[in-house]
Structure 1
C-alpha cells in the first residue's frame, strides 16, 4: 500500500470514528426529544416521535410551576455568572498587576480551594444559611457562589499577558484603578470572560445537591430539583413529562453556548499563554 493510500485510509477511519462519536453524543438528545412526545406505554418501545407532546406539557404544568422554576434557574445562574465574571476578573487583576504582601501565599490558598469538593463545604454552608435565615431564598442560592477560585485563576493567568505599560499610562493620566480596570483592562478579556461565563452558568444550572439541601418549597425549585422530584419512588412517574422538562431546561444552555461559542475555545486556552 502506497503512502498516499495509507493517508486516505487513515482519514476514512478517522471520519468513521468521529461519526460514531457524534452519533453516540447526539442520540441521548434525540431520545429525549422523541420521549417528550410519547406516553408511558410507548416511551421505552418507540424511537420515533409521537403525538403526546401537549398532554405531557399539561402534566408537567400540573405537577410543577414550570415557568417559575425556569425563571429561578435563569435568574440564579445569570446573577451568579455575572458576579463571578466581574469579581473573578477583579481579583485576577489584583493578583496579576499589584504587588502586595502575601500575594503569592494568598493565590496559593485560592488554588487549594479549587480542590475542595462541594460535599466538604455542604454542611458548613447549610449551617450558615440556617443561622442567618437565608434557607429557601435566592440569597442562599446566589451569595455563596458569587466568585469562584477557578474564575480568579483563569482571569489572573489571562491578565498576566496584559501590557503593564497601558495600566501605568492610565494612572499617569489620572485614571482611578477601578476606572482603569473597567474601561481598559476588562474589555480586552472577552475570551476569558466568555469561558468563565459558560462554565459558571453550566455549573449553576446543574447544581443539585446544594440546592436540595437549602431549598424546601416548590416555588423556589430549580430545574434539577424539579426533575428529581418528578421521579420520586412510590408515585406515578410520567416519563414523557420528565423528558419534556429536561428539554425545556436544556434550551437556555444551548442558547448561551451558541452566543459565546466563538470566544469559548480561545478563552479556555488563554491561561496557557503565560504562567
Structure 2
C-alpha cells in the first residue's frame, strides 16, 4: 500500500468513528422511545413496538403541549429581537468607529468571560424589581443582547464593501435605509447562521428558566425533560426518551432547513 492510500484509509476510518459517535446517541434515544423502560435498562438497542404507548403516557401525564408552545414562543421571539439588536450594534461598532466605541466593544468582549451563574442573583433582582419573574419576558430579555452574536456579526460586517455604502450615501440614502435595504438583504446567510445559533441557545436554555419560571404552566421543554428525570419513585426511561426525542426535533428541523445558509454564514458570505 502506498503512503497516500494509508493516509486516505486512516482519514476515512477516523470519519466513520466520528460519525458513529455523533449518530449513536440519537439512535439510542430513538430506540429507547420505542421500547419499555425494563428493556431499555437491560440494554436493548433495537427498535421496538412501544413508541405510541410511550407517547401516550408522555402526553397523558405531562403538559408537553404547553411546554412546547412556551419553548417555541420564547425561542422565536428571542431570535427576532436578538438578530435585530445584535446586528444593529455590530454594524454600529464596525462602520461608525470611534475611540470610545472600541473601548465599549472591548468591555462587551470581556463580558463573555463572566459565567452566567455569577450574574443570576443581580439579574433575578432586576427582574423582580420589574415584576417580570415567572414570565416569558424574563427569559427573553437577557438572551437578546448576545455578546457572541455581536462579535459574530461584526466579523462578517468587516467583509461588507464600504464602497457600496458610500455609493448609497452619495445617492442620498440614509443610514436606516442602507442597513435594512442594502446590508441585511445581502447578508442573508450570516443572519441564517445567527438565527440557528440564537434558536438553539434559547431552546437549550435551562439554568435561567429554572430560576425565573416558577409555575408549571410556564415551563419550557428543557424543564419538562428535567422533571421526567426527577421522578420521586421509578423513572420511566422510555417516556423520558420520548420526551427528549420531541425536544430535539425542532432544533433538528431548523438546522436541516437552514443548513446551507448556516455553512455559508460561518464562512463569511455576504451574498443573498
Query: Alignment partner for residue 6 of structure 1, among 3, 21, 31?
Result: 3
Q: Any idea what SS the aligned residue of 2:41 has? A: coil
For 1:235 and 1:173, the matched residues in 2 are separated by: 71
Q: Deviations over 1:174-221 (max 9, x none)?
A: 222111100001112222212211111111111101110001122111
- Tell me, in whole angstroms, the C-alpha distance in 2 between the residues paired with 1:133 and 1:265: 41
Q: Aligned to 2:49, which of 48, 51, 54?
A: 51
After TM superposition, the score normalised by the length of structure 1 is 0.92
Contact 2:35 2:49 in 1 (8 A): yes
What are the ranges of 5 or more consecutive residues in structure 2 without an aligned counterpart?
A: none
Cross-structure match for 1:62: 60
Query: In the alignment, is the contact (CA less than 8 A) between 1:89 and 1:186 conserved in 2?
Result: no
1:83 counterpart SS class:
helix
SS of 2:173 mapped into structure 1: coil
Aligned length: 269
1:189 aligned to which of 187, 190, 193: 187
Q: Give the TM-score taking structure 2 as reference length.
A: 0.93
Query: CA separation of 1:233/1:57 partners in 2, compared to 1, >3 Å: closer, same or farther?
Result: closer
Match of 1:151 in 2: 149
* Alignment-derived partner of residue 175 in structure 2: 177
Distance, in Å, in 2 between the alignment partners of 1:109 and 1:192 is 24
Deviation at 1:244, TM superposition (A): 0.6
| Partner residue in 1 for 2:74 | 76
Q: Which ranges in structure 1 are unaligned for 5 or more consecutive residues? A: none
1:120 aligns to what? 118
Structural mapping, 1:90-169, within 5 Å: 90-100=88-98, 102-169=100-167
CA offsets, 1:99-123, max 9 Å, x none?
A: 3451110111111111122111111
